[in-house]
Amino acid sequence: AVLVGKTMTYDSGGLSIKVGGGMKGMKRDMDGGAAVFGAMKAVASVLKPRRRVVALLCCAENAISDEAYRPDDVLEFANGVTVEVTNTDAEGRLVLADGLIWACEREDPDFIVDIATLTGGVVVALGSTYAGMWCDDDKLRGRVDSVSQVTGERVWRLPHHEEYRDMMRSPCADIVNSAPVREAHPIQGAAFLSYFVESGIPWCHLDIAGVH
């Protein structure tokens, strides 16, 4: 089992800088990683499972400098997928992509769960009552649902179909990191991440932006 946590120590939006009060609270953009860190403490000290559990914390700061990445950059990831950067404020999915690739290629996982404060769109959709969940594997989704009921950390499944993956296509790379339309915004994040998970590996994405 591999747990992957988005751990942005601060998110200014980068060159696509957040405006108005948009930066307020962005020191909490590491809460996905914090959740994974806390889960590992419970795994080590309380649960003590017989299976191997690995945590990957994808750590970075999204800031402006002379070395900052830019809109219009094209990045090539370790699995060969190329990404056109259209918005540097969609940075969390870029660091998570690295974590997902590592999990698939290095850890031989039975399943992967990633946890991230990924999108404002999931807050619009679900408020602070439910975290968004994307998981096409029935067995893993059932496990997450069961754990959700025990812990009171409520999750709500959102759709994940090929049409959403197609939304992310780029004219000059394989995909963009943020589609030019706002529709289905939290699903865009999940669709992007799906390009970095190997086929056949059960995977669950949890967007906790509204409940962290």
Q: How buried is 152 (Cβ within 10 angstroms: 0-12 exposed, 13-18 middle, 19+ buried)? A: exposed
pLDDT tens-place string over residues 181-190: 989 999 999 9
* Contact status, residue 56 vs residue 2, Cβ threshold 8 Å: yes
Give the amino acid at 167: M
* CA gap 185, 189 in Å, rounded: 7
DSSP state of 148: H
pTM of this structure: 0.96
**Which residues are annotated as catalytic?**
18, 93
pLDDT tens-place string over residues 66-85: 999 999 999 999 999 999 99
In the prediction, which pLDDT does 212 show? 87
